[in-house]
Amino acid sequence: MLNTKSPIPLYHQLADILLVKIRSGAYPPGSKIPSEHRLSAQYHIGRPTARQATDVLVRKGILVRKRGSGTFVREENEEVDLFSLAGTISSFHKKGILVKTQLLQKVRLKIIKNDPENPFANKTAYFFSRISRVESEPVLIEDIYLHDVLFAGIDRIHLAGRSLSQVVDEHYFLRPYAGKQNFRIGYLAGKRARALGVAEVTPILTVKRFLHFEPAKNAIYSELYCRTDRFVFSQTLGGMTDEDEGLL
């Protein structure tokens, strides 16, 4: 039971109790924990306190809320080969994971600001930004830059919810032959942090990705911001085969 005389806040005490039950197997991975109403009745606390307790474990990645269903013990992170030349959408699909993408910024031609890592710095390139969600939970934001001559007219093609690889293959008859990626820890702020569902102080996996095509090296450059609390992102690099459906 909770100790009302303890200096430890009640919500923290309840979070510790729930964590012990999860670690002991009383609430195994994938199982649903009691509702906030049941927790408040069982431990004689208000529902806001019960909510605070589950919030703590959600932020730690131990629990996950599913809209309309309740709060569940998170299962082991799935591994997704997100960084192969096969690309993001196909990488999720190959694991049987339904991923939905939405444009945060529509495709437009713009002059790219000075950035020593961006191959299009101080040049004109196509740019758009999109977010990927799994079960309505945001997992990845991508800022994508494309060669303005090689991909001329891509701003007139409908990209929302589509695999960029299919667009590049079907409209431009191109596939990447090689690529390079840089990995680091980064942070998001403002609207982008809120879109990905992370705090501005939350470290996330940041990848800067360069893809080479026969007509031009670095013809597509992207910056990926990845939440790692849901998926383990692995990497496989090599040439594409006919079975590879994706590029990005």
Q: In the beta sheet, which residues pair with residue 226?
A: 140, 205
- What pLDDT is attached to residue 232? 66
What are the average pLDDT values for consecutive 10-residue runs of the chain, which has 248 residues? 88 92 89 94 93 90 86 73 59 71 94 94 96 87 96 92 84 89 91 92 90 93 87 57 48
- What pLDDT is attached to residue 166? 80
Q: Which amino acid is at 205?
A: L
- What pLDDT is attached to residue 241? 45
- How far is Cα of residue 160 from the mean position of the Cα atoms in its chain? 17
The residue ranges of every structural domain in the chain are 10-73, 78-233
Phi–psi pair at 188, nearest 5 degrees? -115, 160
- What pLDDT is attached to residue 170? 86
What fold is seen in the domain 78-233?
A: Chorismate lyase (3.40.1410)
Class of domain 10-73: mainly alpha
pTM: 0.64
Q: Are 155 and 167 in contact (CB under 8 A)?
A: no
Nearby residues of 95 by Cβ (< 8 Å), 6 or more positions away: 78, 79, 80
If we measure between CA atoms, which residue out of 172, 112, 117, 102 comes closest to residue 145? 112
Residue recorded with tokens 């590879």: 244
- What pLDDT is attached to residue 67? 83
Q: If you count them, how many residues does the chain have? A: 248
In angstroms, the CA 86 to CA 179 distance is 11
